Amino acid sequence: MPISGHTYLCRFDVLEEGVPRRFEVDGLPVSLVRTEGEVFAIHDVCSHSAVSLSEGEVEGCTVECWLHGSRFDLRTGKPLDPPASRPVPVYPVRVEDGDVYVEVMLRSAG
């Protein structure tokens, strides 16, 4: 059953532990990561170099950008290492009856 304000992305069991998976929600790239018993959704573009975070390595609740090595906290989107200095958006995730839903709020410019 659809959840108001959330977009269905996949079944929970298709997500491999510690392996990011890229999706598109309303035209935005989103990386889903299953780690430490939870599922996190983070914008799938590094704030430093515009490359896909879903191609990076996951360790605990962090994902590392494969190009320059910046790590981002999956819970907050904050960079933990240079050269990245700006956070990336994170999105609320709900898992219900084995289905994974993400709420992506589009921000208007201005």
pLDDT in tens, 85-101: 999 999 999 999 999 99
| pLDDT higher than threshold 80 for residue 109 | no
Q: What is the pLDDT of residue 5?
A: 83
Q: What is the pLDDT of residue 43?
A: 97
CB of 88 within 8 A of CB of 82? no
Q: What is the pLDDT of residue 102?
A: 97
Contacts 24+ apart (CB under 8 A), 11-20: 11/98, 11/99, 11/100, 12/39, 12/95, 12/98, 12/99, 12/100, 13/98, 15/39, 15/100, 18/58, 18/59, 19/58, 20/44, 20/53, 20/54, 20/55, 20/56, 20/58, 20/63
pTM of the model: 0.90
pLDDT one-digit tens code per residue, 24-57: 998 999 999 999 999 999 999 999 999 999 999 9
